Amino acid sequence: MDKLSFYGTEISSRLLLGTAQYPSPQVLAEAVRASGAEIVTVSLRRESGRLREGQDFWGLIQGLGCKVLPNTAGCHSVQEAVTTAQMAREVFGTPWVKLEVIGDADTLQPDVFGLVEAAKILSDDGFQVFPYTTADLVAAEKLLEAGCQVLMPWGAPIGTGMGLNDVYALRSLRAHFPDVPLVVDAGIGRPSHAAEAMELGYDAILLNTAVSKAGDPVGMARAFGKAIEAGREGFLAVPIEPRDMAAPSTPVFGRATFG
């Protein structure tokens, strides 16, 4: 599959995988390997919850050989998100950060106003920000102006598994920003959802719950890896446009007739 680039770093796999809520560390490791993911997201809160547990978890992540994308999950204010990002940079040794500023506790919808403010602060501080946002065109433009070079619009609220709730908005975002890496983040529940997003021209998919909570996380991780590859190849092959009327696949001209 063709490669993509995040802040100058080339990546082969277009699946970014979260590391929370797996049945065991062993299942997590096997799922990451089965998926082919080269980037895993890690929460600072998960890493530093209890010292011994945090050290063991970090050792497991390092052993996978993946690039780490720390996140500010659970942050509800600009100051909280910025402080968490700064701490994550020290712990994980990377300028990358998946920036979350949650505005609604029920839907976990991003606070796009706080998100833009925090993105500006972090970008000015040398961070390479991956903002978790809605598929709003104005918010996207403001995030790019704030220094972001990647956008991560949601498909649906985190953990719902509902898929792509607003295909029109996602398609519009792709059309307005053809040269910006776009990653669908949150709401993906099935491999078919991921393939659909890739067929829209999205560059990658970030997911967690759909794999970690599956009956067979390893098998589901493998399925997502294949679906994302298929969706990308389908997009590059240029699918036919839907039409209202039937069109015969066998030409009528030259058909045998009987008198």
pLDDT of 51 higher than 90:
no
The rounded mean pLDDT for the chain is 91
Res. 49 pLDDT band, cuts 50 70 90: very low
- With b meaning 16 or more CB within 10 Å and e meaning fewer, what string describes 46-59? bbbeeeeebeebbe
Give the pLDDT score at 252.
60
Q: In angstroms, rounded to a whole number, what is the distance separating the alpha carbons of residues 149 and 145?
A: 9
State the pTM of this model.
0.90
Distances (CA, A) of 23 to 19, 214, 230: 11, 10, 28
Q: In angstroms, rounded to a whole number, what is the distance separating the alpha carbons of residues 97 and 130?
A: 6
Stronger pLDDT, 58 or 230, i.e. the higher one: 230
Stronger pLDDT, 251 or 36, i.e. the higher one: 36
Structure confidence by residue, pLDDT tens digits, 151-189: 999 999 999 999 999 999 999 999 999 999 999 999 999
pLDDT above 70 covers a percentage of the chain that reads 92
Picking from 69-73, 135-139, 253-257, which range would have the lowest pLDDT averaged per residue? 253-257
Contacts of 208 (CB under 8 A, 6+ apart): 17, 18, 19, 20, 21, 41
Catalytic positions are: 98
Give the pLDDT score at 8.
95
Which is nearest to 182 in space by CA: 168, 193, 197?
Answer: 197
Q: Facing residues of 6 across strands?
A: 9
Q: Between helices 191-199 and 217-236, what is the axis angle to 10°?
A: 20
Do strands 9-11 and 4-6 pair parallel, antiparallel, or not at all (unpaired)?
A: antiparallel
| Amino acid present at 93 | G
| Amino acid present at 217 | P
Query: Count of residues for the chain?
Result: 259
> What residue numbers does the annotated binding site for 1-deoxy-D-xylulose 5-phosphate cover?
159, 186-187, 208-209
pLDDT of 48 higher than 60:
no
Average pLDDT estimate for 213-225: 97
Rounded (5°) CA angle 87-89-134: 90
Q: What is the CA radius of gyration of the chain?
A: 20
Contact 109, 85 (CB under 8 A): no
Structure confidence by residue, pLDDT tens digits, 78-97: 999 999 999 999 988 999 99
Tokens 């972090």 found at? 122
pLDDT of 243 higher than 90:
no
Average pLDDT estimate for 24-33: 94
pLDDT of 53 higher than 70:
no
pLDDT of 52 higher than 80:
no
